Amino acid sequence: MVGRLAPRLTEELRSRGLAVEEIDRTPGAHRGDARSVLLRIGGPKVDAGIADWLGTIQWTGTSPYRPRHQRRNWFVSVAAFAEPSTETWNPQDLRIETLRASGPGGQHVNRTESAVRITHLPSGLSSLAQEERSQHLNRRLALARLAALFAERDQDQTQAAEDQRWRQHTQLERGNAVRVYRGIDWKRMR
């Protein structure tokens, strides 16, 4: 049913002046159908444009995939999720500090400020490099570590969004539909 509902949703949202892009589809067992479809929707007043679609959609009819099944009411859940942010950092947002390295290192340690700590001020992420004797190499290493921290955080946010999306599948509320369709031609009843 999701594969048949997605084109209707896309068409209606585009007629409202919103940009709709399919970014992921989990195919169903039958050709042309889908278990899940993820759309990116953009444009002016997105929240108002999708509000009447959010919730449970009911379709009443004989399933083309399970024609002998006694059930006549089928349900699809439509939910909105915020897209994970992919924050890029600006060099002006970095605080770079030099300090004396600690640990073994002979006469070089505690004589020069070769260690480097870089802090991204808006996010509070920080990295420290003190392995190299050169401040320039430690700075490069600290920047690489900071970039790795950002990548890890972005990956965690993406995974959390994916988990939230899949949890939505188990939260389908049968009944109390926001829209009801009937028949093979998907005639809207309310």
Residue 29 has what pLDDT? 82
Instruction: Please choose, from the candidates 109, 108, 94, the residue with its C-alpha nearest in 3D space to the C-alpha of residue 139.
Output: 94
CA 117 to chain centre: 31
* Token pair belonging to 88: 């890029």
**Parallel, antiparallel or unpaired: strands 34-42 and 55-60:** unpaired
Instruction: Please choose, from the candidates 142, 133, 139, 127, the residue with its C-alpha nearest in 3D space to the C-alpha of residue 109.
Output: 133
Whole-angstrom Cα distance, residue 150 to residue 79?
A: 28
Q: How many CB atoms lie within 10 A of CB 48?
A: 10
Whole-angstrom Cα distance, residue 135 to residue 140?
A: 9
Q: Are 117 and 128 in contact (CB under 8 A)?
A: yes
pLDDT for 15-64, tens place per residue? Answer: 999 999 998 888 888 787 888 888 999 998 898 999 999 988 988 888 77
Residue 84 has what pLDDT? 65
Domains of the chain in sequence order: 1-83+168-188 (3.30.70.1660), 91-156 (3.30.160.20)
DSSP label of 181: E
pTM above 0.85, yes or no: no
Taking the chain (190 residues) in runs of 10, the rounded mean pLDDT of each run is: 86 93 85 85 90 89 80 86 72 89 62 86 90 84 89 87 78 80 84
Whole-angstrom Cα distance, residue 1 to residue 62?
A: 11
